[in-house]
Copies of this chain bind each other. A is one copy, B any other.
Amino acid sequence: MHHLSDEMRACIEKCLTCYSICLSMASGHCLEAGGAHVEAKHFRLMLACAEICRTSAHFMLLGTPHHRHTCAECAEICRECADDCERVGDMQACVDACRTCAESCEAMAA
């Protein structure tokens, strides 16, 4: 990935980390915990967040200039997911990964 800028490589890594944490917490933590963790709105948001992080990384890896738009959308969904995970509680790893990813994607979208 030597043809990608350091900043973009860092953003790809943050997207893939956020994807990994959202998906594994949804499946390995929320589904086991039940209750508020499997409310439709919360769980759906986590799956959407995992998917946009995956896509955003994919666009940067492809090297398409459209990554600006997927990064902008990724930043927005990550912030919403972070807030919702904070509301539900017991999801700090997800809150942190989403906030870190949102910040990085926002910079790439500018």
A interface list, Cβ under 8 A from B: 1-4, 12, 16, 20-21, 23-25, 27-29, 31-32, 34, 38-40, 43-45, 47-48, 51-52, 54-55, 57-59, 61-64, 66, 69-70, 73, 76-77, 93
Excluding A1-B20, A2-B93, A24-B63, 5 further A-B contacts by CB distance (< 8 Å) are A3-B29, A16-B16, A20-B61, A44-B64, A51-B55
Cβ–Cβ contact B73 & A66, under 8 A = yes
Q: Which of B38, B40, B55 contacts A55 (CB 8 A)?
A: B55
CA distance A55 to B93 in the complex (A): 23
Cβ–Cβ contact B58 & A51, under 8 A = yes
Q: Which of B27, B57, B59, B76 contacts A62 (CB 8 A)?
A: B27
Cβ–Cβ contact B1 & A12, under 8 A = no
